[in-house]
Amino acid sequence: MAKFGYHGATAERIAEEAGMSRVTLHRRGVTKEAILAELSRRAIDSYRQALWPSLTAAGPGAERLRLALTALCEEAEANLSLLVALRTQTDALFHEPGPEAMTNSVFTQPLERLLRDGAADGSLRVVDFEEVATVLFNLVGWTYVHLRTGHRWKPERAIAHLVAISVDGLLPHVEEA
C-alpha cells in the first residue's frame, strides 16, 4: 500500500508483491481491506506503546504532554510512507462514526489524560479536554506529515516547532504586571 497507494494496490499488485497468485490470495482471504485492517491494528498498538512512557512518567502534565506529542511525531515518521499512501482512507481509521466525526478515542484518550493531569497540577490551562485532545492529535500528526512531505523538513525541525507551539499554547496565562 505504501508503494502504490490504497487505490493503486490492486489484487494483482498485492499478489505480485507477495510472490503468489491472485487465486491464492483469494483462497487465503487476503483482501485490500484485510491488509488495511491489519496495518491499522499494528499502527494502533505501536502508537499505544509509544505514548505509554509519557502516561507513566513522573513530572508535570505539560512536560509529559511534550513527550507524548514528540512520540506522536515519531510514530508519524515511522509510518510516513504509509500515511501518505493511505490519505484517502484515513477517515475510517482515525474517526469515530457519527455526525461530528471526532477522532477515534484510542488516539485522543492519552492526550486527554495528559491535558487533565496538566490542568490538575497547574502546568496547563483548563480546556475542553476532549476537543483539545482531538485538535492536538490532528494538528500535530497531520501537520507533521505535511511538513515532512510537502516542505521536506527534517524530523527534528518539525517536531521542535510543532511540540513547542502546541504545548506553549496550553500553558497557563501569566498575568502581566
- Does residue 7 contact residue 32 with C-beta atoms inside 8 Å? no
Q: What is the pLDDT of residue 90?
A: 59
> Model-level pTM?
0.81
pLDDT tens series, the chain, 177 aa: 667 777 777 888 888 888 888 888 888 888 888 887 788 888 889 999 999 999 999 999 999 999 999 999 999 999 888 787 776 665 656 666 677 766 678 888 999 999 999 999 999 999 999 999 999 998 999 899 999 999 999 999 999 999 999 999 999 987 644
Residue 162: burial class (beta carbons within 10 Å; 0-12, 13-18, 19+): buried
Instruction: Write the DSSP string, 89-108.
Output: GHHHHHB-SSSS-PBPHHHH
Handedness of CA 82, 83, 89, 95 (dihedral sign): positive
